Amino acid sequence: MKYLDEFGNPVLAKRLVEEIHAATTRPWAMMEVCGGQTHSIIRHGIDQLLPEGVEMIHGPGCPVCVTPLEIIDKALAIAAQPGVIFCSFGDMLRVPGSGQDLFGVKSAGGDVRVVYSPLDALKIARENPERQVVFFGIGFETTAPANAMTVYQARRLGVTNFSLLVSHVLVPPAIAAIMESPVCRVQAFLAAGHVCSVMGTREYPPLAARYGVPIVVTGFEPLDILEGIRRTVVQLEAGRHEVENAYPRAVRDEGNPAAMAMLRDVFEVTDRTWRGIGMIPGSGWRLSSRYREFDAEQRFAVADIRTNESPLCRSGEVLQGLIKPHECAAFGKQCTPRNPLGATMVSSEGACAAYYAYRRLDLVQLS
Amino acid sequence: MIDFENWSCPVPLRDTPQVVMGHGGGGAMSAELVEHLFLPAYGSAVSPADSAVVPVLGGRIALSTDSYVVKPMFFPGGSIGDLAVNGTINDLAMSGASPLYLSIAFILQEGTPLATVGRIAVAVGSAASAAGVQVVTGDTKVVDNGSGDGVYLTTTGVGVVADGVTIGPERATAGDVVIISGDIGVHGVAVLSVRAGMEFETTVISDSAPLHGLVAAMLATGADVHTLRDPTRGGVAASLNEIARTAKVGIALDEPSLPIPATVADACSLLGLDPLQVANEGKVLVMVPADGAEAVLAAMRAHPYGGGARVIGRCVEEHPGMVTARTALGGTRIVNMPIGEQLPRIC
């Protein structure tokens, strides 16, 4: 991990910042797709170092934030059922559904457990054969291989009391949807490095060509992000729109073929509703027919879900880069990480939470 | 020393290798547990009566009480037993008190192995003895299997504050230097590394330690120490936010100065946690005016529990009630009060 520290080296960062300033002659608006990048940009104050006019628009790549409300409500309903052990990544527990969150279900007696890997949930299922164990399988292409592997293992081992509540989302259709929007201001993308470490870069050249935008595959440490921004500015200034890999230590063009084969076996493409954005065609994965028996939505009859979003929350506009978090009237007032109205305030990768956590000071001083 | 690992039950403890409801019933079984398990573990100072009677103490008296619900109960570098002793000693020490006496209550879940209770009691006894503090009274209750989780402890401590010593969060003042006594986040990472479902290999061991000796060494310099705080639950972030709000000062940290060991930084980065929000059990945050800071730092560094002491920031007039950090890249960010439990990130 010493290796990682080197990607936060302040001297090298200063040099990159200078190069970005030297390369910039005009204002540019670029979107970092991934919430992990948003978190890193705001935490390290990278956006404060950029030339005036170079604007980072925070993209929809926070899996917690875009998981549809209906799925959250289904998770709450399943987790509340007696006999169910409901396993989830930690930051899903505080995401508000229409009524409460998973913490609320837990305090009311539901067996809700935080795990670090879906394989841990499978282990729990094998240790508790008389209980139904459900894993909340959400996320982008990054988290999908582990979920696919878990379902694959469950079938191989004959574990019949395990199921997956799945709501995977995909980056390329989201990029297309953002560019198709009539109010789109995005001129370039920093693509999500870890998504590309799974899927490779070959999905992106058609997008770059169709919409005339540079797409630079970018990592997560400060130097990674600055290098991604530098290459993007250089392309924009030169009028080019190509796919570049600025994260070669983790990303190969062909991706991870073993993971992709597993994904093709376990999942199939489906239309998906993104919380705050709406339905994007072909933007999700669900379990393929071969694995449908492991689908928690099939196993548990959770019909009659009526969703109810806060009328104040403007997270949809934040997720599409139309407003900055503090431009929402509820930001820091009715909506805080402690009482989030929308998911972007919950996850530490959510743009609203990142602004609240690290940037409140400037906003207070500005106002 | 009793060999709790190879516990062979002496006749008076009957033949139950686990806690049964009768151990909390106040009858013969309770008495036997005290006589044959707790007293040998604590030493001779425990009062046989319901209350301990001790001499009137000079100066002002400091009192503190704290409950311990640690999962798992044993972790690299310590156990719930020494946490319960050191934690209460440290709460007293943070007001500048010299801790003298402890009272300790055990809440046992039915079915807990007596060997486990024994190991914890011995850890309590050894930690108290190492710190020069006497366990003078205690209590035991048993709850039904399923109503608790192994062993819960509550300790109450009594100490004496010397005349002229006034230490508290409200005294933190703009201009004060902020010092920490050593590495940040090691206790929390040590406990997480053995928590069920999260096991990972690390060389990190808990920093659980009694800090009253270190505090005495700091006060002996004659410096006007304003504020002391041991950053336990919620970590450095929670402690500094509490102080900033109480004293209505801003606190400005210098992020590159924060002593976060690579092992802790790596574990936190992997788990999606912030080291500043991770618990410490043997560290102290100090606010002291700049003219006394050098002497205090030197005294801390000369003490076994303060070898890694260093300045991490300043109290400032700007942004009262808020803690900020200057990042390595030159940006500024807010260091927040953690909300509740830290939630590991999805990716």
Q: Cβ contact (<8 Å) for A90 and B262?
A: no
Q: Cβ contact (<8 Å) for A90 and B345?
A: yes
- The DSSP line for B19-76 is --GGGGSSSHHHHHHIIIIIHHHH-TT--SSSS---PPPSSEEEEEEEEE--SSSEET
The residue count of chain B comes to 347
Distance from CA of B235 to the nearest CA of A (A): 16
Please, which residues bridge with residue A169 across strands? Answer: A284
Residue of B nearest to A347 (CA): B345
Distance from CA of A45 to the nearest CA of B (A): 4
Residue of A nearest to B255 (CA): A44
Indicate whether A208 pLDDT > 80.
yes
Weakly modelled stretches of chain B, pLDDT under 50: 1, 8-12, 347
Chain A residues within 8 A of B272 when measuring between CB atoms: 90-91, 348
What phi and psi values does residue B14 have, to the nearest 5 degrees? 60, -160
Q: Cβ contact (<8 Å) for B327 and A44?
A: yes
> β-strands A215-218, A188-192: how paired?
parallel
- N- to C-terminal Cα separation, chain A: 40
Domain edges within chain A: 2-61+171-245, 65-169+255-299, 315-366
CATH number of A2-61+171-245: 3.40.50.11750
Provide the Cα torsion B173, B176, B181, B184; round to 10°.
70
Q: Which of B271, B329, B344 sits opposite A45 (nearest CB)?
A: B329
Q: Cβ contact (<8 Å) for B327 and A45?
A: yes
DSSP state of B315: E
Rounded CA-CA distance B67/B62 in Å is 17
Question: Residue A312 is encoded by which pair of tokens?
Answer: 């104040």
Residue of A nearest to B200 (CA): A116
Q: Which of B272, B328, B332 sits opposite A361 (nearest CB)?
A: B332
Chain A residues within 8 A of B189 when measuring between CB atoms: none
Rounded CA-CA distance A151/A162 in Å is 8
For B146, the 3-state DSSP assignment is coil
Indicate whether A1 pLDDT > 70.
no
Distance from CA of B323 to the nearest CA of A (A): 10
Residue of A nearest to B345 (CA): A91
For A106, the 3-state DSSP assignment is helix
Residue B248: how many other CB atoms lie within 10 Å? 12
pLDDT (tens digit, 9 = 90+) per residue, A331-348? 988 898 888 888 788 777
pLDDT of the residue at B201: 75
Highest mean pLDDT range out of A56-60, A270-274, B140-144, B237-241? Answer: B237-241
Q: Cβ contact (<8 Å) for A139 and B346?
A: yes
Q: Which of B328, B343, B345 sits opposite A8 (nearest CB)?
A: B328
Pick the CATH number of A65-169+255-299 from 3.50.50.60, 3.40.50.2300, 3.40.50.11740, 3.40.50.300: 3.40.50.11740
Distances (CA, A) of B152 to B5, B69, B71, B108, B133: 21, 5, 10, 7, 21
Q: Judge contact between A145 and A175, C-beta under 8 A.
A: no
Q: Cβ contact (<8 Å) for B339 and A120?
A: no
Fold agreement (A2-61+171-245, A65-169+255-299):
yes
Q: Cβ contact (<8 Å) for B324 and A361?
A: yes
Domain edges within chain B: 11-161, 169-335
Chain A residues within 8 A of B345 when measuring between CB atoms: 89-91, 347-349
Rounded CA-CA distance A213/A266 in Å is 32
pLDDT (tens digit, 9 = 90+) per residue, B291-316? 999 999 999 999 999 999 999 999 99
Q: Which of B265, B342, B347 sits opposite A142 (nearest CB)?
A: B347
Distance from CA of B101 to the nearest CA of A (A): 37
Pick the residue of B264, B324, B329 with the most A CBs within 10 A to test the interface with A by mutation.
B329
Lowest mean pLDDT segment, chosen from A13-17, A35-39, B33-37, B184-188: B33-37
Closest to A246 measured CA to CA, from A226, A267, A272: A226
Angle between helices A35-44 and A222-238 (to 10 degrees): 100
Chain B residues within 8 A of A115 when measuring between CB atoms: 197
Q: Cβ contact (<8 Å) for B344 and A91?
A: yes
Closest to A228 measured CA to CA, from A59, A3, A2: A59
Rounded CA-CA distance A84/A78 in Å is 7
Chain A residues within 8 A of B319 when measuring between CB atoms: 361, 364
Residue of A nearest to B274 (CA): A348
Q: Return the half-sphere exposure (C-beta side, CA atoms, 13 A cut-off) of residue A79.
A: 30
Query: Tell me, what amino acid is at B201?
Result: E
- Percent of chain A as helix, strand, coil, to the nearest 5: 45, 20, 35
Indicate if the alpha-carbon torsion angle A179, A184, A189, A191 is positive or negative.
Answer: negative
Which H or E run includes A66? helix A63-66
Residue A164: how many other CB atoms lie within 10 Å? 28
pLDDT (tens digit, 9 = 90+) per residue, B128-187? 999 999 999 999 999 998 888 899 999 999 999 999 899 999 999 999 999 999 999 999
Closest to B225 measured CA to CA, from B298, B174, B165, B313: B165
Closest to B276 measured CA to CA, from A317, A43, A121, A204: A43
Question: Residue B188 is encoded by which pair of tokens?
Answer: 């929390």
Residue B2: how many other CB atoms lie within 10 Å? 16
Q: Cβ contact (<8 Å) for A90 and B344?
A: yes
Indicate whether A34 pLDDT > 50.
yes
Chain B residues within 8 A of A122 when measuring between CB atoms: none
Pick the residue of A15, A44, A194 with the most B CBs within 10 A to test the interface with B by mutation.
A44
Q: Which of A1, A8, A43 sits opposite B333 (nearest CB)?
A: A43
Average pLDDT, chain A: 91
List, in order, residues 6 or more apart from B257 with CB less than 8 Å away. Answer: B310, B311, B312, B313
Domain B169-335 matching CATH 3.10.129.10: the answer reads no
Query: Tell me, what amino acid is at A284?
Result: G
The alpha carbon of residue B34 and the mean position of all alpha carbons in its chain are separated, in whole angstroms, by 25
Rounded CA-CA distance A138/A170 in Å is 11
Q: Cβ contact (<8 Å) for A49 and B329?
A: yes
pLDDT of the residue at A366: 42
Q: Cβ contact (<8 Å) for B269 and A1?
A: yes
pLDDT of the residue at B345: 60
What phi and psi values does residue B53 have, to the nearest 5 degrees? -115, 120
Indicate if the alpha-carbon torsion angle B301, B304, B305, B307 is positive or negative.
Answer: positive
Chain A residues within 8 A of B262 when measuring between CB atoms: 1-2, 5
Q: What is the value of ipTM here, to two decimals?
A: 0.74
Q: Which of A4, A49, A116 sits opposite B331 (nearest CB)?
A: A49
Chain B positions contacting chain A at CB under 8 Å are 197-198, 262, 265-266, 269, 271-272, 319, 322, 324, 327-334, 336, 339, 342-347
Q: Which of A2, A46, A361 sits opposite B319 (nearest CB)?
A: A361
Classify domain B11-161 at the CATH class level. Answer: alpha beta
HEC string of A206-269 equals HHHHHHCCCEEEECCCHHHHHHHHHHHHHHHHHCCCCEEECCCCCCCCCCCHHHHHHHHHHEEE
Q: Judge contact between A8 and B328, C-beta under 8 A.
A: yes
pLDDT of the residue at A367: 38
pLDDT (tens digit, 9 = 90+) per residue, A173-197? 999 999 998 888 899 999 999 999 9
Closest to B167 measured CA to CA, from B56, B247, B102: B247
pTM as predicted: 0.83
pLDDT of the residue at B6: 54
Rounded CA-CA distance A312/B310 in Å is 46
DSSP state of A9: -
The percentage of chain A sitting over the pLDDT mark of 70, rounded to a whole number, equals: 96
Distance from CA of A168 to the nearest CA of B (A): 13
Query: Tell me, what amino acid is at B124?
Result: V
Pick the residue of A2, A169, A360 with the most B CBs within 10 A to test the interface with B by mutation.
A360
How many residue pairs bridge chain A and chain B with CB atoms within 8 Å of each other?
A: 101
Q: Cβ contact (<8 Å) for A116 and B197?
A: yes
Residue of B nearest to A34 (CA): B347
pLDDT of the residue at B249: 97
Distance from CA of B197 to the nearest CA of A (A): 7
Distance from CA of A11 to the nearest CA of B (A): 8
